[in-house]
Structure 1
Amino acid sequence: MCADTVTPEQRSKIMALVKSKNTKPEMVVRSLCHAMGLRFRLHRRDLPGTPDLVFPKHRLCLFVHGCFWHRHGCKYSSMPKSRADYWATKFDTNASRDERCINRLKLMDWRVDVIWECELKDLDRVKERVQTLTTLLD
């Protein structure tokens, strides 16, 4: 096992800076949707999982997930070498919560999609997907 290169206090400060709202990937998706003329609500706390973008007119919830935190499985979802047991539990909990919230939203007749951070490397593809999702009910 590899030792952490910073003290526990420093690591705690670093982790406290990790944002859950208004992240760079989320801001990219918001900007893209706004430029497409779509209107949405942000972080609706009355919905399970507090979706990042909610399109009430289309009954659509979008989550913008970081590959590392939500375990996408791509090259960006690596496992930390130190405290592997802690991280495995943390990631399993995140994934279970994500699945539970998505299922609850679907039971409430919302359509749900996840845009992964790594997918933002091809904005045209993301734009096409959002366009398809928002025109399904029109």
Structure 2
Amino acid sequence: MADVHNTEQRRKNMRAIKSRDTSIEIQVRRILWHAGYRYRLNVKALPGKPDIYLPKYRAVIQINGCLWHGHNCPQFVLPKTRTEFWRNKIKDNVRRDLKSVAALHDKGLRLLVIWECALQGKARLDNRYTYNLLNRWLSSTELLANIDKQGLSSTTLYEFKSQINPSLTES
């Protein structure tokens, strides 16, 4: 299927996509703030410049868009135009994510990845339930976990790789 926008309109649409302060980031930050958690945003000194850093808990929360970070869920659909370009771009993001996860782990920081599908769409999680999941993870000792539309799951680096769409992890 051909793109419904001309080149200029598509360029304008793509430039409008923000890399920080997205609606799902703000949603998570509001949940944390109203629950009494205090945090720092986009700390440059940490690997991958994570979205949220909670120094008191030595914890990092990264909020990933399913498309941009290659999540293996129904919200990930590789664009039909310039497919090879987008596959390579998303693969680079995935490589960078995995490198950041390992570096954060080496620094002794705990990491929670929240996928977009947990916060948007028909199968999204309720804000109260999301708060409970965040609270449970922050009060635990789990080093690496993720929240998707199935809820909270503890994971290892190997299992984290399995969250990525298989078409992006092939070499």
Higher helix share: 1
Aligned partner of 2:128 in structure 1 is 124
Which 5+ residue runs of structure 1 have no aligned equivalent?
A: none
Structure 1 residue 39 and structure 2 residue 43: aligned? no
Deviation digits for residues 63-103 of structure 1 (CA, Å, limit 9, x no counterpart): 11111111111111111111111111111111111111111
Output aligned runs, 1:1-138, within 5 Å.
2-120=1-119, 121-122=124-125, 123-136=127-140
Mapped to 2, the partners of 1:84 and 1:111 lie a distance apart of 34
**Of 9-18 and 84-93, the range deviating more from structure 2:** 9-18
**Of 14-23 and 122-131, the range deviating more from structure 2:** 122-131
Amino acid at match of 2:76: S
Amino acid at match of 1:106: H
Secondary structure (helix, strand or coil) at the match of 1:113 reads strand
Mapped to 2, the partners of 1:74 and 1:136 lie a distance apart of 26
Deviation digits for residues 18-62 of structure 1 (CA, Å, limit 9, x no counterpart): 101100000000000111110000111111111111000000000
Mapped to 1, the partners of 2:103 and 2:48 lie a distance apart of 9
Mapped to 2, the partners of 1:35 and 1:15 lie a distance apart of 32
**Of 120-129 and 59-68, the range deviating more from structure 2:** 120-129
Secondary structure (helix, strand or coil) at the match of 1:68 reads coil
Runs of 4+ in structure 1 displaced over 6 angstroms?
none
**What is the CA RMSD across the aligned residues, in angstroms?**
1.3
Amino acid at match of 1:112: L
Which 5+ residue runs of structure 2 have no aligned equivalent?
A: 142-171
Mapped to 1, the partners of 2:75 and 2:33 lie a distance apart of 27
Secondary structure (helix, strand or coil) at the match of 2:130 reads helix
% identical aligned pairs? 35
